[in-house]
Amino acid sequence: MGDALEKVLVTEEQIRTRHREMAAEIDADYAGRDLLLVGVLKGAVMVMADLARELHHPCAMDWMAVSSYGAGTNSSGVVRILKDLDTDIQNRNVLIVEDVIDSGLTLSWLVGNLRSRGPASVEICTMVRKPLALDVDLEVRYVGFDLPNEFIIGYGLDYAEKYRNLPFIGTLAPHMYS
């Protein structure tokens, strides 16, 4: 890690505990119903893998990749599909699995896009929500952690494609991007 990490915000243990709680909620909410988890690449890979293994529900999984930050730390607001779903989601219950919601721009666009495909339902599960996301008209059903407005890395979250493999969530030292 060197000096790239400033501090740990959420430990591995806290992440594991929260996944169990969220998985229990999802199991209860979708009991007896079809469920398709849609992970947003690449950040949601860790959440998807860990959360899905805590679920008892026999759900399907698919992936989408949309453009986000590039190498900087500010949302561009420009959303582009880099990889679309393999699945036809018509009449399916879709649960979008995200790593973080910051401005909410990416997800607002994604929800609109998926709703236009005629699914039975579209809900959102995110590991981290930042304060800006509360200002957008976006209903987030499952939130792992509400964290302050700082640039975070680890547990799927990158800075210039690095640090996704950290098992915890931490803040990037300011000197790394200033």
* Identity of the residue, 103 or 121, whose beta carbon is nearer to ligand IMP in the bound complex: 103
**Cβ neighbours for 81, distance < 8 A, ≥ 6 positions apart:** 64, 65, 66, 113
Q: How far is CA 151 from CA 11, 100, 130, 140, in A?
A: 16, 11, 10, 20
Minimal distance in Å, beta carbon 10 to Mg ion? 16
64 binds ligand IMP (CB under 6 A): no
89 binds ligand IMP (CB under 6 A): no
Neighbouring CB atoms inside 10 A of 97's CB total 23
169 binds ligand IMP (CB under 6 A): no
Contact 61, 47 (CB under 8 A): no
Q: Which one, of 99, 107, 100, 96, lies nearest residue 66 by Cα?
A: 107
Please pick, from the candidates 96, 105, 124, 140, the single residue that binds ligand IMP as defined by CB under 6 A: 105
Minimal distance in Å, beta carbon 49 to ligand IMP? 16
Binding residues for ligand IMP restricted to 120-149, rule: CB under 6 A: none
In the chain, which residue ranges form alpha helices assigned H by DSSP?
12-29, 45-54, 105-115
Question: Which of 62, 102, 135, 146 is labelled catalytic?
Answer: 102
Minimal distance in Å, beta carbon 34 to ligand IMP? 26
Binding site for Mg ion (CB under 5 A): 40, 43, 99
* Identity of the residue, 89 or 127, whose beta carbon is nearer to Mg ion in the bound complex: 127
- Asked if 102 is an active-site residue, the reply is yes
87 binds ligand IMP (CB under 6 A): no
Contact 171, 165 (CB under 8 A): no
Contact 48, 37 (CB under 8 A): yes
Active site residues: 102
Q: Which stretches of the chain bind ligand IMP, using CB under 6 A?
A: 43, 68-69, 75, 98-107, 151-152, 157-158
